[in-house]
């Protein structure tokens, strides 16, 4: 049984007060005793401490949106994994398509960041996903397999206990164009088959694969009920409790 994860990627949004208010509203929904789903919020780095304070005592987990593959040192503008764990973060998003597209992160960078996050005790939420032209050219499976091969290079079976995969088709991010339930399921099944071939059937059965890209309250139930969809990585809709809470509920309904 894979416990669903509902994760909110706030991207470069919120201010200190709205971050605090959003985290408080979500923390109320996620008491420490809640064990049906995992809920993670990933605020901008400068608000991590504010959000961690608001989440304190609850079951709401807090993660980074990005981290360095380096030890603390002379790397201007970067956030070390050690800093995330020092604050109390559980996890970090690695290789989001916006990092890949706008900051030149290739699979080998994603791989070294993933290894560093795991070595630091963080759960790594590793993102993959095809561009629209790649999908239209029938290359989705090849693109996903190649991203997985590069991003998870050298990882062991034991490492995989702390890896979560996020399938985010780039054409569905922030566009309102959501993948159909069938498109999401097909891609997730392909990723799970890849995990079985690269690792083993236990890893394939245990690894959570989240869908991301225009998840909203009205499409969440359909996506989350697909057999290989184990949660969601939500952008825009994670910024409003009235949108994110129904998505959490939709995740919980799949295990009820
Ligand atoms: P949207 O939900 O805004 O499409 O963003 C998805 C995403 O990129 C989450 O990481």
| CATH number of the CATH domain containing 73 | 3.20.20.70
Model-wide pTM > 0.75? yes
Mean pLDDT value of segment 68-72: 98
Name the average pLDDT for the chain. Answer: 98
34 alpha carbon to ligand 1 midpoint, in Å?
25
The predicted structure's pLDDT at residue 138: 97
> pLDDT-based confidence at 61, cuts 50/70/90?
very high
Mean pLDDT value of segment 12-16: 98
Mean pLDDT value of segment 80-109: 98
List of E strands, 161-244: 163-167, 209-212, 231-234
Q: Supply φ then ψ for residue 126, to 5 degrees.
A: -95, 125
Q: Quick check: is 168 catalytic?
A: yes
**250 near 211, Cβ under 8 Å?**
no
42 alpha carbon to ligand 1 midpoint, in Å?
12
Residue 233, ligand 1, Cβ within 6 A: yes
Share of the chain above pLDDT 70, in %: 100
Mean pLDDT value of segment 178-191: 97
Mean pLDDT value of segment 171-196: 96
What's the structural domain count of the chain? 1
Mean pLDDT value of segment 185-201: 98
Return the SS3 of 41. Answer: strand
**Between the CA of residue 137 and those of 131, 143, 180, 193, what are the distances in Å?**
10, 11, 18, 22
The predicted structure's pLDDT at residue 201: 98
Q: Is the pLDDT of residue 176 over 90?
A: no
Query: Residue 172 CA: which ligand 1 atom is closest?
Result: 4
> pLDDT-based confidence at 256, cuts 50/70/90?
confident
Residue 173, ligand 1, Cβ within 6 A: yes
User: Which of 98, 130, 168, 185 is the catalytic position?
Assistant: 168
Give the Cβ contact number of residue 110 at 10 Å.
25
- Would the CA dihedral through 19, 166, 112, 236 be positive or negative? negative
The predicted structure's pLDDT at residue 75: 98
> pLDDT-based confidence at 1, cuts 50/70/90?
confident
Domain span including residue 164: 5-253
């Amino acid at each position: 049984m894979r416990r669903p994860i509902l994760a909110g990627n706030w991207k470069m949004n919120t201010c200190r007060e709205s971050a605090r208010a959003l985290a408080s509203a979500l923390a109320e929904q996620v008491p420490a005793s809640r064990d049906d789903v995992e809920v993670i919020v990933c605020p901008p780095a400068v608000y991590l401490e504010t959000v961690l304070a608001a989440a304190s005592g609850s079951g709401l987990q807090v993660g980074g949106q990005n981290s360095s593959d380096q030890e603390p040192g002379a790397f201007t503008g970067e956030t070390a994994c050690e800093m995330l764990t020092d604050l109390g973060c559980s996890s970090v998003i690695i290789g989001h398509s916006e990092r890949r597209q706008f900051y030149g992160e290739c699979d080998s960078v994603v791989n070294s960041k993933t290894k560093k996050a795991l070595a630091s005790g963080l759960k790594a939420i590793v993102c993959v996903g095809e561009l629209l032209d790649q999908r239209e050219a029938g290359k989705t499976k090849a693109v996903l397999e190649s991203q997985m091969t590069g991003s998870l290079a050298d990882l062991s079976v034991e490492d995989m206990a702390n890896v979560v995969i996020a399938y985010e088709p780039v054409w569905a991010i922030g566009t309102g164009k959501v993948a159909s339930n069938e498109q999401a399921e097909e891609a997730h099944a392909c990723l799970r088959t890849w995990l079985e071939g690269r690792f083993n059937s236990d890893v394939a059965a245990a690894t959570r694969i989240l869908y991301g890209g225009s998840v909203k309250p009205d499409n969440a139930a359909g996506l989350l009920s697909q057999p290989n969809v184990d949660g969601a990585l939500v952008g825009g809709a994670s910024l409003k409790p009235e949108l994110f809470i129904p998505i959490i509920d939709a995740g919980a309904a799949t295990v009820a």
